[in-house]
Amino acid sequence: MRALLVVNPAATTTSARTRDVLIHALASEMKLEAVTTEYRGHARDLGRQAAESSDVDLVVALGGDGTVNEVVNGLLHAGPDPEHLPGVAVVPGGSTNVFARALGLPNDAVEATGALLDALREGRERTVGLGLTSGTPGTEDEGVPARWFTFNAGLGFDAGVVGRVEQHRERGKKSTHALYVRQVVRQLFGEPNRRHGHITLERDGAEPVSDLVLSIVSNTSPWTFLGNRPIYASPKASFDTGLDVFGLSRLSTRTVARYGTQLLASSPQRGPHGKHAVTLHDQTRFTLHSKAPLPLQMDGDHLGLRTSVTFTGVRRALRVIV
């Protein structure tokens, strides 16, 4: 097998020595070319080159969810074609690694490498669905390029938290779960529209859902992890269905306490619920509009401000080695 290993040297949970060990382990089982990313978007460029090459069977992403997202967007730049495009494998090296863990991989990079080698020897793979965002026709964001996401996206509150975390990381702070928790609190008290949201969800054949403060779009479950604890915003979300949505119409102190407690206690059988919660399952296509520009995040990557985003759930889009 001919494989391209995309290595993020800034991955937070792997040292240079660990990465060298993993590279040697993978190279013992396949014809491997390892490339270290040098700039933001480099993993996307490498994924695109792999898609356009006839010499690559597999792309392995060694890094966090952001590295995986870039690789996937590069591979699928011309659209999904799982039967002909290289497969994807993940060796988790980030702080959270939601995509890898949602696939059932160990969160430890060495153990995940062992699981990957076992999967290759046994020919184990699956084809998963992905989410796709695009600018909405007729809006000021219609020219925004389409972008894939693997596990979740959000417009509004949670994207604001991601943006705050990225600002701290640019200042040299390490990405930790404690950092995320602190930024959730700061985003909450800095949120100007806690009681009356600006977001409206529109979909064919249904009445619009308006005045949302928070909107989380999930392509799988769990939504994220707090340390080793999985958090389920949309427990029914799956790589084998369309997209799920969890929204809140209010973020008062009382509702935050209620739904925050529900999220911490969530399980595959039960997620957050109540009169201020909106839950939608297995959606193929919908649009989130905002009366004012709001931050957008995909797979934990802050992508700036948007006023309108169209979401599409694309089934069987990516072949993954698991």
pLDDT in tens, 24-76: 999 999 999 999 999 999 999 999 999 999 999 999 999 999 999 999 999 99
Give the pLDDT confidence score for residue 178 in this predicted structure.
72
Q: How far apart are CA 319 and CA 158, in angstroms?
A: 29
Q: How far apart are CA 170 and CA 80, in angstroms?
A: 33
Q: How far apart are CA 128 and CA 103, in angstroms?
A: 10
- Show Cβ contacts of residue 208 under 8 Å, excluding neighbours closer than 6 positions: 200, 201, 202
Give the pLDDT confidence score for residue 227 in this predicted structure.
84
Q: How far apart are CA 274 and CA 61, in angstroms?
A: 39
pLDDT in tens, 62-90: 999 999 999 999 999 999 999 999 999 99
Report the run of H or E that residue 36 belongs to, with start and end: strand 31-36
In the chain, the percentage of residues whose pLDDT exceeds 70 is 93
pLDDT in tens, 104-141: 999 999 999 999 999 999 999 999 999 999 999 999 99
Give the pLDDT confidence score for residue 192 in this predicted structure.
59
Strand partners, 5: 34, 60
Average pLDDT over residues 262-291: 96
Q: How far apart are CA 301 and CA 58, in angstroms?
A: 24
Average pLDDT over residues 242-262: 90
